Amino acid sequence: MGKLLVFGHQNPDTDAITSAISYAYLLNQLGEEAEAVALGEVSEETQFALDYFHKQAPRVIETAANETDRVALVDHNEAQQSVSDIQEVQVDYVVDHHRIANFQTANPLFYRAEPVGCTNTIIYKLFKEKHIAIPADIAGLMVSAIVSDTLLFKSPTCTQEDIEAATELAEIAGLDINTYGLEMLKAGTNLATKTEAELLNMDAKSFPMGGKTVRIAQVNTVDTADLLSRRGLLESVMETENQQEGYHVFVLVITNILTSESTVLVVGQDLELVAQAFESEYLDGLLVLPGVVSRKKQVVPPLTLAFDK
């Protein structure tokens, strides 16, 4: 068997990058020849974690079939979120914590999906099940992912398993979770140097809903008003991407990590349907959603129900 490429979704977040690193390490310990790669450049939050634990970012690939015929998917399973030539390679492994959609294989595979807050929580359990020791630097990256995906345990996606995994991993890494976690999250909110296009695509995913494509981007911040000062330019880029990529609607979720509240900017068609999905009304063209911080659990499901009716 040839080399196995391990990667997360496009526009990778901290979990996508670090779960590729941690799972590739585990697979190598189990006898696979595995390499962690990425489907995009790392964010500032992820770079903070990588720098802290003295790890290099995985190299970025655009296609996989030119290098291998075998891949492992982490932190995603949907084809439109994966490598562009996913249909040309064999998926041998999937470790994920999202919904399962637009996914099928011709051959049997290892598939592990659990409704927890972070992919690295599942990978931590796999390490324990296989009795493989976790190095301190890998443990630190895994903690970083759990902190990121659960917003330091404030997200409704967070489970007791996430908290327990993060606590044990932090002990291995020698971390104070709260101090480190807040520093890392704040590093990810440095948005001033990013263009509008970069902001909209640094953590964005496309979802098929009711026969249409809905683009959902999420940006974490500590100052919602500062980001909304660029609203006109953001709306212009969103409209352009709708036209160029065929998105039915572009939904930008601006999440304040200090107040656990999201402000939603919507460009495209069926704007009222989006408001109805959240049982909300537009105020100055924006939806303000207290307590909404999770795209996976609080944004995608109600939108899917609304568009599938």
As given in the structure block, the two tokens for residue 224 are 């919602």
Mark the binding-site residues for Mn(2+), compressed into ranges: 9, 13, 15, 75, 97, 149
What count of Cα atoms within 13 Å lies in the side-chain half-sphere of residue 300? 19
Mark the binding-site residues, compressed into ranges: 9, 13, 15, 75, 97, 149
Q: Where are the alpha helices (DSSP H) in the chain?
A: 14-29, 44-52, 119-129, 136-150, 160-173, 177-187, 196-201, 224-228, 231-245, 271-277, 300-308
The two counts, helices (H) then strands (E), for the chain are 11, 10
Pairing state of beta strands 212-221 and 249-256?
parallel
Q: To which residue do tokens 């796999």 refer?
A: 126
As given in the structure block, the two tokens for residue 88 are 């040309």
CB atoms near residue 118 (< 10 Å): 31
